[in-house]
Amino acid sequence: MVGMRASARGSTPHEQAATNIRACLDLVEQLVRQSESVKAPEVETTLNVLNRAAAELDADESAPPAVVSALRNAVGRLQLLKAEMSPAGKPSGV
């Protein structure tokens, strides 16, 4: 929600940032709705999308920094979730 508010602030709202944040929120909300049956690959896919969106917005100098920060925070939380989901002692990707 911080990212959505940040994208709307200022003299001219940043439409691309709002679109990216909205799409990322939809993906995260889908994970939440399926929380009992979410698998690590679904979290990984969502992480990839959020990382790409953050990189895209980070490269856009007109994007509000709070939007990029909000996406990075979401990425961090998903990475923690992914680590919790993986079996102890087994590195991801193996």
Structure tokens at 20: 């990216």
Looking at the chain, how many residues does it have?
Answer: 94
User: Three-state SS for 36?
Assistant: coil
Sorting pLDDT into bands at 50, 70 and 90, what band is 2? Answer: very low
How far, in Å, are 2, 39, 79, 85 from residue 43 at the CA level? 21, 7, 8, 9
Q: What is the mean pLDDT of residues 3-9?
A: 49
| Rounded distance between C-alpha atoms, residue 40 and residue 54, angstroms | 21
pTM comes to 0.68
The domains of the chain are located at 2-85
| Rounded distance between C-alpha atoms, residue 35 and residue 83, angstroms | 15
